[in-house]
Amino acid sequence: MIKVGILGAAGYTGGELIRLLLNHPEAEIVFANSGSNAGNKVADVHGGLFGETDLEFTDAMPFDEVDVVFFCFGHGKSEEFLKEHSIPAHVKIIDLAQDFRIAAPTHDYVYGLPEIHKAEIQKCQHLANPGCFATCIQLGLLPLAKAGLLKHDVSVNAITGSTGAGQKPTGTTHFSWRNNNMSVYKVFTHQHLHEIRQSLTELQGELDASIDFIPYRGDFPRGIFCTEVVKFDGEEGTPSNPTGEQLAQMYKDFYADAAFTHYVDKAVDMKQVVNTNKCLVHVDKFGNKAVITSTIDNLLKGAVGQAVQNMNLMFGIDEKAGLNLKPSAF
């Protein structure tokens, strides 16, 4: 069994991670750390776990008793934590914050997007789990980057559920404001753009085009639904401007071996993926433009589901272990 420790276990991502690991056939939770909830039962904080566990939160961090630790911190706190605490060299780290997602000579974290980095993930000791928007947007664009087709600015619109903003209520997450409402934020400046450009540049070689991303706050709790508009050059049917059929085959080939990302021939909707670790992608072609639709659950494929998928790869077990989840679709 893989012995697991969780830091920041009382938030939305921590609760989802605990839910997954309790039902994982090859993982055991050794500790769920939360300074503010130490001594409280996990099920008293994460009410959906009543009847499933007697686990209690702790303020202890027995790193010598675990094989892997998940950082479910807010952004910026992982790097700060590692400056103040020592984790044994044999313990693998999976960081769900953005602190180590951008490659740099100052750290050895592998960017944990299995669709492009599976071999590196299988060998790594430290992993930076991708962001939720970043995952959904990249999975819609990676096949085009691989084919060198992102030559023009890409227009991206994506809407996310309120859980993406964390558990602590704010002026734009509490029910009275969010219900029956919609708004944009961080237009063209969202922090996930850096990791998106990093991956697209890795596959395409260079990326002069801008990614014009407009994020929307949705009045639902979980899920991301994204549309991306890409422009091509030349006559349709040529390598620089594939037909709709050619694009569909390109996506099917690119994701042929992906465990959870699938190309769908008809339009997708968000309920197909909520409560699962899937990403579904669809492409429509209109003359010299394509509209790519991609959708994920922001807490699962966009966070802890992908983190568990990465843990499975890091420990050499079935990539899908603990992740055969039922979507909320009727």
CATH number for the domain harbouring residue 137: 3.30.360.10
pTM for the model: 0.95
CB 5 within 8 A of CB 30: yes
| 67 part of a folded domain | yes
Residue 112 and residue 140 share a domain: no
Residue 209 and residue 102 share a domain: no
| 325 part of a folded domain | no
Residue 146 and residue 64 share a domain: no
Burial class, 142, CB count within 10 angstroms (exposed 0-12 / middle 13-18 / buried 19+)? buried
For 171, the domain range is: 132-298
pLDDT in tens, the chain (330 residues): 999 999 999 998 999 999 999 999 999 999 999 988 999 999 999 999 999 999 999 999 999 999 999 999 888 899 999 999 999 999 999 999 999 999 999 999 999 999 999 999 999 999 999 999 999 999 999 999 999 999 999 999 999 998 776 666 677 777 878 889 999 999 999 999 999 999 999 999 999 999 999 999 999 989 999 999 999 999 999 999 999 999 999 999 999 999 999 999 999 999 999 999 999 999 999 999 999 999 999 999 999 999 999 999 999 999 999 999 999 766
Other C-beta atoms closer than 10 Å to the C-beta of 59 total 12
Residue 307 and residue 253 share a domain: no
Residue 248 and residue 235 share a domain: yes
CA distance 296 to 300: 8
Residue 187 and residue 227 share a domain: yes
Return the SS3 of 64: helix
Residue 202 and residue 307 share a domain: no
Residue 207 and residue 101 share a domain: no
Tokens matching residue 95: 């960081």
Counting the structural domains of the chain, the total is 2
| 307 part of a folded domain | yes
- Of all helices (H) and strands (E), which one includes residue 228? strand 224-231
CA distance 279 to 296: 5
Residue 308 and residue 258 share a domain: no
Q: Catalytic residue among 72, 124, 132, 136, which? A: 132
Active-site annotation holds for 124: no
Tell me the chain's radius of gyration from C-alpha atoms.
20
Residue 101 and residue 86 share a domain: yes
Tokens 């819609």: give the residue: 140
Residue 138 and residue 100 share a domain: no
| 219 part of a folded domain | yes
| 329 part of a folded domain | no
Residue 142 and residue 64 share a domain: no
| CATH number, domain containing residue 71 | 3.40.50.720
For residue 238, give Cα distances in angstroms to 34, 145, 208, 241.
56, 17, 22, 5
- Please count the helices (runs of H) and the strands (runs of E) in the chain: 9, 13
